[in-house]
Chain A
Amino acid sequence: AQSVTQLGSHVSVSEGALVLLRCNYSSSVPPYLFWYVQYPNQGLQLLLKYTSAATLVKGINGFEAEFKKSETSFHLTKPSAHMSDAAEYFCAVTLSGGYQKVTFGIGTKLQVIP
């Protein structure tokens, strides 16, 4: 079975500051890892995914994440926060191949302060 832990249900950053959202995973086999963003009353939009290729993954809207096996982490970063980045972010894990059940973290709500 696999699981993800998102540290910090709420994160606040100033506009222009670094965004760091933490995600640690647990999986008995090599995982696929995802970050999704959800705006209020909307579905989830895929930001980026790790599928056992490059460990540093670049996504949309300037976000990137690095897969660190030794730390079982897949933290999401963005060098400079924009007001439009305010949303809920979900880390998710599934088994390699992507054809198994996807397990989501509890989500981190990002607040951007002007």
Chain B
Amino acid sequence: GAVVSQHPSRVICKSGTSVKIECRSLDFQATTMFWYRQFPKQSLMLMATSNEGSKATYEQGVEKDKFLINHASLTLSTLTVTSAHPEDSSFYICSARGRGRRIATDTQYFGPGTRLTVL
């Protein structure tokens, strides 16, 4: 099956610092990766979509200069929250779609999520 990992699983940082979250596809090539944000007791909200080697496409209302996304390889995408503030505290989940053995090319496979707490 398709496995997507995220690192770190939890991070606590001070206000004003930057935090990088990694998303990796372990056994398939992720041609497209997605970053979601989930507030407590709410659904997932898509933040941005990135295709390998291209600039990310951000959803309306998401600040691209604050949430930097890099998808430099077919197995790795990173989300950097710059100058984090307490309101950025949330659960960030990535997903990937791509190609490989025993995966469906039309399905998004999700990582386990990263809990960000900004003090």
Chain A residues packing against B (C-beta within 8 Å): 32, 34, 36, 41-46, 49, 51, 90, 97-99, 101-102, 104-107
Contacts and interface: CB of A to CB of B under 8 A. Distances in A.
A43 B6 contact: yes
Nearest to B2: A46
A49 B110 CA distance: 14
Contacts of A104: 43-44
Given A43-B6, A43-B93, A90-B44, A97 B110 contact: no
Main secondary structure, interface of A, reads loop
Contact of A41 (B4, B32, B97, B113): B113
Given A104-B43, A106-B43, 12 more contacts: A32-B106, A36-B110, A43-B6, A44-B44, A49-B107, A51-B106, A98-B97, A98-B104, A99-B97, A99-B106, A102-B34, A107-B43
